[in-house]
Amino acid sequence: MIRTLLAKLAWPVRVLWLVAALLPNNLTDTMSSHSQVLRTTMSVELWLLWALVALATWLHHPISLTTVRCIMPVVVAHLLYGLPDSSFGVGNVIGAACALVTFVLIYTSDYGSIHVQAGAYGDERRYLLRVPAPIVMPLILGWGVMAVVVCITPLMLASERFVVGGIGAVLSVGLLWQLPVRLHRLSRRWLVKVPAGWVVHDDVVLSENLLVKTYDVVSMQLALEGSEALDLTGMTRGVPIEMQLREMTDVRLTPLAAKLLKTVDALHVKAFLVAPTRPTSLLNP
Task: Give percent of the chain above pLDDT 70.
Answer: 95
What is the pLDDT confidence band of residue 174, given thresholds at 50, 70 and 90? very high
Identify which has the larger pLDDT, 76 or 121. 76
* CA–CA gap between residue 186 and residue 202 (Å, rounded): 9
Q: Where are the domains of the chain?
A: 1-119, 192-283
- 3-state DSSP helix/strand/coil % of the chain, to nearest 5: 55, 20, 25
pLDDT in tens, 244-285: 999 999 999 999 899 988 889 889 999 999 999 988 777 766
pTM > 0.85: yes
Identify which has the larger pLDDT, 5 or 100. 100
Element (H, E) at 39: helix 36-58
* pLDDT(173) > 90: yes
What is the pLDDT confidence band of residue 241, given thresholds at 50, 70 and 90? very high
What is the per-residue pLDDT for 6?
Answer: 47
Rg, the chain, Cα only: 22
Euclidean distance between the first and the last CA atom of the chain, given in angstroms as a whole number: 18
pLDDT in tens, 33-45: 667 888 888 899 9
